[in-house]
Amino acid sequence: MQRYNVAYLERKKGKAMAVMSIQPRPCTDPKCRGQHAPAERVALAASLCDARGAQLTKLRRQILELLWESGRPTGAYELIEALKLRDSRPVGPPTVYRALEFLMLQGLVSKIESRNAYVPCAHPERGHDCLFFICRTCGTAVELEDRRLERLIAEHAALIGFRPTRRVIEVEGTCARCIAAGAA
């Protein structure tokens, strides 16, 4: 059940408008596959930033919303074009890259290195490693959590005296939808 509150007033073309926001709730399902409403996840991101004393600016929020709306790994230049269409004003690459860096530092977004693209983290409220299954045909990426894999990486890192700062695992292949469509 989602609860809605009038959270703030937004100005559009000189008019104050009440904006409805979703009350964020962390996911408690350990077998969740990240199937949450984008608005819920963006609200959770705002809540996490508030709790950490970090500022989720309008631009950072818009970029996070665009990543959730995209449903696939999205590059910085695609985000720049989407922002231009949304706001009818250009945003420069350094500005978008700084916003993406902030979102990654807050654990709200992960970078898919093989695609030089970004995806929103399904569970930013949980500290976990990122495990992505990326379809080579349609480009979708699915994030999963696997505590066994996290423990294995931690054990191997400890064996060699290595301190990981970021752990992202990318597995490329063909998704079930593309296999069913005969694309693979």
Q: Compute the distance between CA of residue 70 and CA of residue 61 in angstroms, rounded to an integer.
A: 14
And the tokens for 24? 């964020």
Mean pLDDT of 76-98: 93
> Does the pLDDT of residue 159 top 90, yes or no?
yes
Mean pLDDT of 43-51: 90
- Report pLDDT for 167: 79
**Residues of the chain above pLDDT 90, percent:** 48
- All domains of the chain, ordered by start, with CATH? 36-126 (1.10.10.10), 128-184 (3.30.1490.190)
The CA-CA-CA angle for residues 44, 91, 68, to 5°, reads 30
Q: Where does the pLDDT of residue 89 fall: very low under 50, low under 70, confident under 90, or very high at 90 and above?
A: confident
And the tokens for 68? 């959730």
- Report pLDDT for 79: 97
